[in-house]
Structure 1
Amino acid sequence: MRRLGFLTIGLFDEADPRAGHESTLRIIELGEQLGFDSAWLRHRHLQFGISSPVAVLAAASQRTSRIELGTAVTPLGWENPLRLAEDWATVDLLSGGRLNPGLSVGPPMFFDTVKDALYPDTADAEDFSYERVERLLRFVRGEKASDFSGARAFEEFSDRVQPHSAGLGERLWYGGGSLRSAQWAGEHDMNFLTSSVVKFEDGPRDFAQIQLGHIQAFRAAHPLGEKARVSQGLVVIPTDSASPEQVAKYQAYVERRTPRTAEPQGPARMMFARDLIGTGEQIAEQLAADPAYAQIDEVAFALPFSFEHDDYVQILTDTAQKLGPALGWKAS
């Protein structure tokens, strides 16, 4: 294991949202202190989780100095690609080149319920295909966004997104759960985020084998081949220093979520990985038997939903001090 990261949703109380955002920033600071290589935020729109990771990561960039900061993922259907390219470049510069934006494409979740608020005049014309990602890639990588550049009165204008952050285009990640998305990410020279959710299309109903197929398809399509970057994001809960009460809560959480791993779920036929719980050594043994994990050397382990701040401190500490070393990782 070369790079160890973590992912959090950043939940907050509707009555006191600042406290939840501050907790997330403190968790990122702790991650840096523990030596983690990266911290990632999820997007949650019209929910009680972070809706603007780019703003939170801008704040985190000023409270940390080394840890890389990512989104896993930004659903591009909610975003204007040109404006997002400006925001990402700005935060990347503020962070000293530490931003790792992850994104996905497709219509926003529950689009029919939100389209009149999000796109009141253009909902039927919006393009939620891969072309939306391609536009973003062009803007981030410095291609033209306008037909005009030069002076106008006392102002100077650029024909490409400003600021431009050199190197950001190499740190864009596509979060994909299907074989086609894995291939597409490779063809477009992106990095690949694979998580605890994949799409079942055919063949054995084996999560790890499906995920392995996605990793192999991504690298087969990528110009760098086997050197192309892949990050795996499973839910892991090390219990080395957990109290008996915490262990009981964690086990109940895993038990509630385990039944959904037996069969593909919903119309999209999504399959979920089992949450991994136990000591660092026990989780390392489980990962060693995972054929998809064997193909990667970067992870962004997901913190469970709905736990308390102190639980996250314990889980992160055990991940860095017990699980990471058991996987061969060394703190930065």
Structure 2
Amino acid sequence: MKKHIGFLSFGHWTPSPQSQTRSASDVLLQSIDLAVAAEEAGADGAYFRVHHFARQLASPFPLLAAIGAKTSRIEIGTGVIDMRYENPFYMTEDAGAADLISGGRLQLGLSRGSPEQVVDGWRYFGYAPAEGETEQDMARRHTQVFLDLLRGEGFAQPHPRPMFPNPGGLLRLEPHSEGLRERIWWGAGSVATAQWAAHLGMHMQTSTLKQDEGGQPLHIQQAEQIRAFKQAWKEAGHAYEGRSSVSRSIFPIVNDLDRAYFGRDRDQTDQFGHIDSYRAVFGRSYAAEPDKLIEQLRADEALAEADTLLLTVPNQLGVDYCAHVIETFVKDVAPGLGWR
């Protein structure tokens, strides 16, 4: 079965001499170059993490629009946008514009948020939970407003003497991109949130971190999560097909540079720990020669269940090296798994 293979970049930068990305400008421009290189290498997607108050990528839409203008085939997305920080109305306009520039290739991953650099950072953006709400409830409320706006239905009363002529009836936000509502994803950290996303018609993203719901290895818990998502999607009866993605740190070792970077990688088992108030399972990394990787990845139950794999790339090692990792996986590993 052909599987969608993309990359996921956290967009780190640091002024360290060891980093190939020493400024925000470096990261933004290199992200565009990496997306172009990934498309040329045969990958299917370019995805970017969104973090605020950090030396990482933050505002995604200018970057997504630029990549959309420079590429022609790959999906372009996020993994994920923290909806505690978002104005759904402004976000609808930005997303519509970026999707139109790309020709309808946006795949937007959203979430309720994760641990961050500052305390209650969303308050600095002017947002606060309503009475009786948690910050997670607020994120889900913002998300549902966003989903409703993406339908493109009119809701605003037009001015009786407008500056420019209006179409008849209530007005919607513009530019509207038809079909974008069916390309929204939710970063689900548990079975329950995966089911919630499915009922709302959002596809599911799951990363290398998940709420521990039983003590099993990450890939087994994620496989159960994806199966629950698929069942909930079927029950919801959506007119379009539901999708699921998993993120993995996978490094094929084919030369001395790969060996120097990842040949001594010790993160070969899952780890369990606590984030905020819950226990979490952190996924292992994979680093080996292609034939060994094929054998290891065949045992990953979540990869078997998902239709999309996002390779987390070490963006500070530069465009050439990250493109090498992606191309090596696509050409030397994916065919052995039956994905190409």
TM-score (norm 1): 0.88
Following the alignment from structure 2 to structure 1, what is the Cα–Cα distance between the partners of residues 44 and 120? 38
Aligned to 1:187: 199
State whether structure 2 residue 97 is matched by structure 1 residue 86: no
Offset at residue 179 of structure 1 (A): 1.2
Distance 1:326 1:224, change over 3 A: farther
Unaligned runs of 5+ in 1: none
1:1-332 alignment, distance < 5 Å: 1-13=2-14, 16-106=23-113, 109=116, 112=119, 114-119=121-126, 122-125=127-130, 128-146=138-156, 148-149=157-158, 152-156=161-165, 159-201=171-213, 203-222=214-233, 223=236, 228-240=242-254, 242-243=255-256, 245-252=257-264, 254-255=265-266, 257=267, 261-266=270-275, 267-304=277-314, 306-330=316-340
Offset at residue 150 of structure 1 (A): 6.1
SS in 1 for 2:109: strand
SS in 2 for 1:248: helix
Aligned to 2:19: none
Number of aligned positions between the proteins: 321
Across the aligned residues of Structure 1 and Structure 2, the Cα RMSD in angstroms comes to: 2.4
Q: Does the 8 Å CA contact 1:150/1:156 hold for their aligned counterparts?
A: no
With 311-320 and 226-235 compared, the bigger mean Cα shift is at 226-235
Following the alignment from structure 2 to structure 1, what is the Cα–Cα distance between the partners of residues 76 and 4? 13
Following the alignment from structure 2 to structure 1, what is the Cα–Cα distance between the partners of residues 177 and 120? 36
Q: Does the 8 Å CA contact 1:239/1:278 hold for their aligned counterparts?
A: yes
SS in 2 for 1:26: helix
Offset at residue 167 of structure 1 (A): 0.8
Following the alignment from structure 1 to structure 2, what is the Cα–Cα distance between the partners of residues 193 and 63? 25
SS in 2 for 1:234: strand
For residues 3-33 of structure 1, the C-alpha deviation after alignment (integer angstroms, 9 at most, x for no partner) is: 1111112223466321222111111000111
The one-letter code sitting in structure 1 at the alignment partner of 2:223 is L
SS in 2 for 1:62: helix
Distance 1:48 1:99, change over 3 A: same
Distance 1:115 1:33, change over 3 A: closer
Following the alignment from structure 2 to structure 1, what is the Cα–Cα distance between the partners of residues 58 and 139? 22
The one-letter code sitting in structure 2 at the alignment partner of 1:276 is Y
Distance 1:305 1:149, change over 3 A: same
Offset at residue 248 of structure 1 (A): 2.6
Following the alignment from structure 1 to structure 2, what is the Cα–Cα distance between the partners of residues 107 and 319? 29
Unaligned runs of 5+ in 2: 16-21
For residues 139-179 of structure 1, the C-alpha deviation after alignment (integer angstroms, 9 at most, x for no partner) is: 11223443x13653332455222111111111111111111
With 318-327 and 154-163 compared, the bigger mean Cα shift is at 154-163
Offset at residue 65 of structure 1 (A): 1.1
SS in 2 for 1:184: helix
Offset at residue 110 of structure 1 (A): 5.3
SS in 2 for 1:61: helix
Offset at residue 246 of structure 1 (A): 3.4
Aligned to 2:18: none
Following the alignment from structure 1 to structure 2, what is the Cα–Cα distance between the partners of residues 170 and 7? 21
SS in 2 for 1:217: helix
The percent of aligned pairs where both chains have the same amino acid is 30
Q: Does the 8 Å CA contact 2:210/2:218 hold for their aligned counterparts?
A: yes
For residues 173-222 of structure 1, the C-alpha deviation after alignment (integer angstroms, 9 at most, x for no partner) is: 11111111101011111111111111013x23321221111111111111
Following the alignment from structure 1 to structure 2, what is the Cα–Cα distance between the partners of residues 61 and 179? 33
The one-letter code sitting in structure 1 at the alignment partner of 2:232 is A
Following the alignment from structure 1 to structure 2, what is the Cα–Cα distance between the partners of residues 124 and 8? 30
TM-score (norm 2): 0.86
Following the alignment from structure 1 to structure 2, what is the Cα–Cα distance between the partners of residues 16 and 296? 35
Q: Does the 8 Å CA contact 1:101/1:171 hold for their aligned counterparts?
A: yes
The one-letter code sitting in structure 2 at the alignment partner of 1:189 is G
Distance 1:251 1:47, change over 3 A: farther
Q: Does the 8 Å CA contact 2:33/2:319 hold for their aligned counterparts?
A: no
SS in 1 for 2:278: coil
With 27-36 and 129-138 compared, the bigger mean Cα shift is at 129-138
